[in-house]
Structure 1
Amino acid sequence: MHNRRQILALGAGGVALGAAAGLGWSGRAEADGLAGFGLGGPGDLANPSEIRSRDGRLQATLRPQLSMALVDDKPRNLRRYNGGLPGPTLRLRPGDAIDLRLENALPPNPLPMPDPALFEAADLCGPVGSSHVAPHDFNTTNLHFHGLHVSPKGRSDNVFLTVAPGEAFNYHVQIPENHPVGSFWYHPHWHGSVAAQIGSGMAGMILVEPEGYVPEGLPERQIVIQTVIGGDAADFDDPRQFMSLRAPRIFTLNGQYRPTIRLRQGERQFWRLLLANDFQFCPLDFKAMGLAATLVGRDGTPLREPKPVDSLLLSPGNRVDVVVEGLAPGLHDMVRQPYRHGLVDLKARTLGQVHIAPGGAPSGLMPARAAPPPDITDAEIVRRRTVVLGERKDPRAVFDLAFTIDGQSYDPDDWHLDPRLGTAEEWTFVNTTAYPHPMHIHINPFQVVAVSGVPLAERPWHDTFVVPAAGTLTLRSRFEDFDGDFVTHCHILPHEDAGMMMNVRILP
């Protein structure tokens, strides 16, 4: 499988970096648009840098590299796109194309991948070879365009590509004219190095929206929540650090440690929140921040009607688009609320402060309305499947624990999830473990039908949603527009790298 990926990458535009290693972005960074609103100035959280499409095309170069950065006033060894934390936001419109060059400037992998033949005598169930249940080759990478409804083939959202250190690859992703409006993101997805790379900073936001979606006068904040590995530099490439749910993590907002977010009493701001981390859930209480919040979109799909919310739970990989209004003047902590992560209690963590200045003028501005897909009806369902999430002991895995789907860890040659293009199916994920698993399905969004057997009246659209510990998740998805191969997996990335991933093949 590894060799097949290498050949595919080189045959579809991969080249050695050579002299090109010194190139900067081929795209142009744009102003973040906050200067006119008085935001992003001294003492206020700024948006990430931004690259916008021009004349139907977004051109950019992403260059992951290893460098030291001050995070919590301590130097941390990070893998970063273009020297930033997070990477630049990519803003485009439905119908645009992304031409993105990925130049892997990370250092060579210290050790070659173990030969799978060494493990054939182990007589263990599931695929042979440590590559499918343990992390490896931490500096080999590729790109996933998380949540985008685009082709999974060739140079598009193809997570089976390989870009080794010193190589480059030219991606071409065509966005459909009718693409949903909302917030998405990009990150590495080379199986075996995903937890290490996202856990050390490799992520960035994607915004897909028509012209005028955010009205002039409504300040827009892009807030990328990351949890970078917080151990010593010597622990940076130690799998026991980034594969452990108990290892230290440092929360950042747009790369800053405990920054301040400023707004005025009565002022509305459009917050686009992305939880771009490796495993920690992030419940947020807007009321405790002195804010009134209205949810307008989640996971790249707009709501049919705006919905007032006091709090929201973000699982790893989730995005929410909310309009917040400053209510209570003063300085309020922005806190990741406590969360029971299976057998591990995640304590409250202060992410930053929200400063609400008194005396602002009330604002009624909201983003333009956008319609979600129509509900998936009973009559559309052509097949119902049950998918079982589990775990097993495996000496090849870190801490001797591998994760499974339908009884086996990730097998690159297995394709038993094989829906037909133009159909809809209902899948029930059954969690037999003591941990929650936020399951992500590539390419096509899904509607959540029930959680642990309890039907949901709203049936929200997502691309990542948590299966409760010892519970179930029932969802429905239409397989539209694109056939081809992609994956479904747990977005707790140590679980993915330890085997909780399965191939999906959409048959034409």
Structure 2
Amino acid sequence: MRLQKFVDRLPTMDKLKPVSRNKDGTYYEVEMREFHQKLHRDLRPTRLWGYNGEFPGPTIEAEEGEKVQVKWINNLPDRHLLPVDRSIHDVAHHPEVRTVTHLHGSVTRPDSDGYPEAWFTRGFRQTGPFFEREIYEYPNRQRPTTLWYHDHAMGITRLNVYAGLAGMYVIRGKKEKDMNLPSGNYEIPLIITDRSFEEDGSLSYPRQPDDAGDHLPDPSIVPAFNGDTILVNGKVWPYQEVEPRKYRFRILNASNTRTYRLSLDSGQPFYQIGSDGGFLQKTVKQEVLSIAPSERMDVIIDFTGYKDSRIILRNDLGPDADPEDETDEVLEWRVSLPLSGKDTSRIPAYLSTIPSLKDQNNIKTIRNLSLSGEEDKFGRPLLLLDGRKWEDPITEKPGLGDTEIWAIRNLTNFPHPIHIHLIQFQVLDRQPFDLDRYNEDGTLQFTGPPVPPQPNERGWKDTIAAPSGQITRVIAKFEPFTGDYVWHCHILEHEDHDMMRPFRVRNPKE
């Protein structure tokens, strides 16, 4: 269904208020529940699931080093509002509605990480095999940055997130306050998602692939899903009125599958100051932002000199795009507000110090890992990490404090955003190889030299796009906690269908 663009104002998410705060930390309670929310002027209210009954959920803000505790409370119905495929990950033997929240990018102990099998049902009546605690702890002993929280339940993450279970989490630091960046009303979170809707305003999500045959389960997981409508902060194609001055935008791609290539139709640049793991070393001037699912980008846009203009945040769909596809636009800025005062904020050239892990010369292990595809027993595409399924024995076991290089070889014909829990990593390079030759006889024949990461990829990352026919190398130090974590593709349909593996950080003394 077609909806008129830029008729609804961009919402700002509520900031979550703590239940209590003392010298030992800050305690929150967050309830997951069903509700209805109007997502566009011409849509009936949509039935959603959300944290505290909001989509997106309220923003949680913490200071660097502030201990935060959150009790994630499941008060959702017993039946899912979207089609559940019961043929994957033993879903048929588990409750239909389960949740477990993962704070994406957080450096936290395994029992607070949101392990996929640490799920729980309404009122904690039933719990998964890895469930250990009702209250999660986030130390926030990491660089100031933009994180996000979302559901991570085994086999239904794609559905729970699509239903609305996602929100932003911001860690702030003292040095940031001295940088004179745009702040207060001039610092805006942008959570970008895509959805499709039925005529009655309800969420539309396919029960089966378009080419489904009689041999497939019903419902059956789809290999990918792009909605036909773009939302920002829970509104379809919104607009925002701004002053002719600098603004800071924390951008999160919270879509299931879609990667965005963002630009401004005015031709002006973005000034990127941060990525997944916080501030870059230097500000990077960008004409286009390519942002894969779950990546975050911290940017400044300068509207000075654009008074009375309308500027559209565009999404490049490529030369072969369907002319009927309306997802080539995201948001409209109207530079229509009077300047409230002199803009004294700045765009700093230098931002932070990022020591190179590679230069520390203590690399313990180099792991050669693959992204590959085969078919499951129903003939559906089955994408795997290093040829293994979730239930196979753990093979990646870095020691606590070990520095490792993971060389991720993409043998499929499309890119995958790869996310590693617990740690932030650095991207070393990407090197192309002859994919057809490799798939024919297993010969690894490089077709070019290693290519260093893009300037805006040279900070700390927890998610990186691994292109087809390339080896993407990242380096990380596995600390400060031991235990079981996961790494996976962050295309949620892939993650749910076995493109996720556990890894274990072991205590070398044991």
Q: TM-score range by the shorter chain?
A: 0.7 to 0.9
Q: Work out which of the residue numbers 362, 373, 379 in structure 2 matches 1:380.
A: 362
**Alpha carbons 1:281, 1:313 under 8 Å: kept:** yes
Normalising by structure 2, we get a TM-score of 0.78
Cα deviation per residue 1:350-378 (whole Å; 9 max; x = unaligned)?
22211123875763414897635411125
**Cα offset for 1:249?**
4.1
Aligned-residue CA RMSD (Å): 3.3
- Residue 191 of structure 1 aligns with which residue? 154
Residue 5 of structure 1 is matched in structure 2 by none
- Structure 2 residues not aligned, in runs of 5+: 1-6, 126-132, 210-219, 433-449
> Aligned-pair distance for 1:301?
2.1
Q: Does 1:224 align with 2:205?
A: no
Q: Which moved more, 1:470-479 or 1:213-222?
A: 213-222
Structure 2 equivalent of residue 303 of structure 1 = 280
CA contact (8 A) 1:436 1:466 kept: yes
The aligned runs of 1:248-327 (5 Å cut-off) are: 248-265=227-244, 267-286=245-264, 288-289=265-266, 291-326=268-303, 327=305
In 2 relative to 1, CA 235–44 (structure 1 residues): closer, same or farther, beyond 3 Å?
closer
Partner residue of 2:217? none
Secondary structure in structure 2 of the residue aligned to 1:74: coil
How has the CA–CA distance of structure 1 residues 78 and 353 changed in structure 2, closer, same or farther, with 3 Å as cutoff?
Answer: same
Contact 2:478 2:505 survives alignment (8 Å): yes
With over 3 angstroms needed to count, the CA separation of the structure-2 counterparts of 1:62 and 1:492, relative to structure 1, is same
| Most deviating of 188-197 and 346-355 | 346-355
Distance 1:404 1:217 in 2: 43
Query: Residues 282-301 of structure 1: CA distance to partner in whole angstroms, max 9, x if unpaired?
Result: 11113x25644211110032
The residue identity in structure 1 corresponding to 2:12 is N
Q: Where do 5+ consecutive residues of structure 1 fail to align?
A: 1-41, 115-128
8 Å contact kept, 1:132–1:410: no
SS class of match (1:195): helix
Q: Which residue of 1 aligns with 2:435?
A: none
Q: Post-superposition shift, 1:500?
A: 0.5
User: Structure 1 pair 112/291, CA: closer, same or farther in 2 (3 Å)?
Assistant: closer
Q: Per-residue deviation at 1:430?
A: 0.8
Relative to 1, partners in 2 of residues 1:274 and 1:176: Cα closer, same or farther, differing over 3 Å? closer
1:405 matched residue in structure 2: 385
CA contact (8 A) 1:106 1:166 kept: no
Mapped partners of 1:245, 1:418: distance in 2: 30
Q: Does 1:471 align with 2:470?
A: yes
Q: Distance in 2 between matches of 1:370 and 1:58?
A: 29
- Choose which of 121, 124, 132 in structure 2 pairs with 1:167: 124
Tell whether the 8 Å contact from 1:99 to 1:170 is kept in structure 2 after alignment.
Answer: no
How much does 1:333 deviate?
1.9
CA distance in 1, matches of 2:278, 2:56: 23
Equivalent position of 1:487 in the other structure: 486
Q: 1:234 to 1:346 in 2, by over 3 A?
A: closer
- d(CA) in 1 for partners of 2:135, 2:476: 26
Report deviation, 1:70: 2.9
Task: Provide the rounded CA distance (Å) in 2 between the counterparts of 1:242 and 1:67.
Answer: 25
* Residue in 2 that maps onto 1:7: none
- 1:92 counterpart (32, 53, 62): 62
Counterparts of 1:234 and 1:216 in 2: how far apart (Å)? 38
Give deviations 1:432-481, integer Å, cap 9, x for gaps.
Answer: 11121000001101111112353316544211011112222111111121
Whether the 8 Å CA contact 1:403–1:499 is kept in 2: the answer is yes
In structure 2, the CA distance between the partners of 1:133 and 1:373, relative to structure 1 (3 Å rule), is farther
* Structure 1 residue 97, shift from structure 2 partner: 1.8
1:90 partner letter? I
Structure 1 match to 2:313: 334
Equivalent position SS for 1:264: coil
1:371-402 alpha-carbon deviations (Å, 9 max, x no partner): 35411125121111111111111135xx7221
Residues 385 and 149 of structure 1: is their aligned pair in 2 closer, same or farther, counting only changes over 3 Å? same
Q: Does the 8 Å CA contact 1:113/1:137 hold for their aligned counterparts? A: no
